[in-house]
Amino acid sequence: MSTAAPSIDTEETDTKKIRVLAAGFIGNILEWYDFAVYGFFAPTIGKLFFPSEDPRVSLIAAFGAFAAGFLMRPVGAVLFGHIGDRIGRKKALTLSVMMMAIPTMLVGILPTHAQIGMYAAIMMVLLRMIQGISVGGEYTSSFVFLVEHAPAGRRAFFGSWSMIGATCGILLGSAVGALINSFTTSEQLLAWGWRIPFLAGVLVAFVGYFIRHGIPDQPIAEELSEQEVYSPLKQAWGSHKTELLQSAGLNMMNAVTFYTVFIYLSTWLVEEVGETRAEALDINTISMAALTVMVPFAAMLADKLGRKPLLLIGAAGVTLFSYPLLWLMHHHHYQMILAGQIGFAVLVACFAGAIPATITELFKRGVRVSAASVSYNIPFAIFGGTAPMVAAWLVHSTGNPLSIAWYLSGIAAISFCITLTIKETRHNSLEE
């Protein structure tokens, strides 16, 4: 009796799966690495490119340039949606990673205000806008690609790797930023140290381009009539109006919860709870790491139980537990704060693990990237980009540090109701 060796076909299939996962994963690392690095060095960038006698004005201006990128995300959604639907997913993915890499490198070599005056600020804003266009196409193009190439019964798991890439990018950016801060003096950081993380991002981009250049792709435009080739978004609105609105409604909670919990609450812990910035960042990093681990498990449950149960659990959880979790975090006690933020991470993971597959399965193939991109990026531009600002305004205007819980709960309740209207998509055919 002989033992059969693994077939070459099986090995090739496994290699293809790994390459597909890596292709969707790597681009999101770069996108969110840059996001984290810019946020980490915003005070330094403010001094160098938006100088002012008041450091707070410089910081606000630096974050204003950051916000400009958010406003361009819907533009990127339309552009890369069209490319993905009419030329191919592969072209959208390779172009988006390079469109992020080149501006990231240019930020690293950009002359400062002291060297070229106001042109430095203008160029910084323009580069952030170009990156915003890239971000608008990257995340959705990658998860559509991942879900379409997933084996039967594993679409949510494959789609979740786009989110895993995003969280890994944030963790990598924070780690690199902390490392640079540790090994440079204040003068060195201001002179050249801040540039290193942006220039290092080119290495990630090179790896991403190399992986994506060899991924499989299907011809898209050849399958369509001449009229359809030029109007994927118009076609999506005509045939998927309800699904577009449903997807946008789901992403309202997705955007508000993520940017409030993992971006704003670090500042909230310092200003309202009295934690040191180092402790707040440590708690946030641990919570992000926990989210990274939990997302694929939530996705596997979505593959087994269905998308809708996980979406409903996440939305109901944020609706009901935002106040208790924030109350837990509003204590000058490290373990209580960490428990509260990890509680939020569990609820975000339920939503994040299911939503890439859900959005992909809502739309037919010929308009899928355009529909997913627009319905994802518009709520993220409107609600995600403004979430920290709204949270800060609520705390200031009410005088109640826990008032942001009502905003989180209200948005989540809306997304919960919208989820109820969505049919389970787990068994939807992606070829129809």
Q: Hey, what's the torsion of the CAs at 402, 408, 413, 415, to 10 degrees?
A: 180
Is the residue at 230 inside a domain? no
Residue 308 placed within a domain: yes
Examine residue 296 and state whether it is found in any structural domain, yes or no.
Answer: yes
Pair 251, 165 in one domain: no
Q: Are residues 164 and 246 in the same domain?
A: no
Asked which of 175, 200, 215 is the last residue of a domain, the reply is 215
User: What is the per-residue pLDDT for 10?
Assistant: 54
Question: Which of 151, 183, 215 is the last residue before a domain boundary?
Answer: 215
Q: What is the pLDDT of residue 221?
A: 46
Domain annotation covers residue 233: no
Asked if the structure places residue 2 within a domain, the reply is no
Give the per-residue pLDDT at 17. 67
The per-residue pLDDT for range 64-99, each reduced to its tens digit, is: 776 777 788 888 888 877 777 777 777 777 777 777
pLDDT of residue 24: 67
Question: Is 137 in contact with 83 (CB distance < 8 Å)?
Answer: yes
Tell whether 5 is covered by a domain. Answer: no
Is 210 found in the same domain as 66?
yes
pLDDT for position 383: 87
**Same structural domain for residues 22 and 65?**
yes
**251-270 b/e with 16+ CB inside 10 Å = b?**
bbbbbbbbbbbbbbbbebbb
The reply to whether 181 and 259 lie within a common domain is no
Residues 192, 64 within the same domain: yes
**pLDDT attached to residue 11:** 53
Q: What is the pLDDT of residue 373?
A: 86
Q: Are residues 141 and 173 in the same domain?
A: yes
What are the pLDDT digits (tens) for 315-336?
999 999 999 999 999 998 899 9
Domain that holds residue 97: 15-215
Tell me the C-alpha to C-alpha distance, in Å, between residue 393 and each of 55, 341, 388, 396, 410. Answer: 20, 21, 9, 5, 16
Q: How many domains is the chain built from?
A: 2
pLDDT of residue 324: 96
CATH (domain of 323): 1.20.1250.20
Q: Could you say which residues of the chain have pLDDT below 70?
A: 1-17, 19-20, 23-24, 54, 56, 59-60, 63, 66, 208-209, 211-230, 233, 432
Mean model confidence pLDDT for the chain = 82
Beta strands in 8-51 (DSSP E): none
Whether residue 378 sits in one domain with residue 290: yes
Residue 358 lies in a domain: yes
Q: 309 and 385 share a domain?
A: yes
- Strands annotated E in 55-212: none
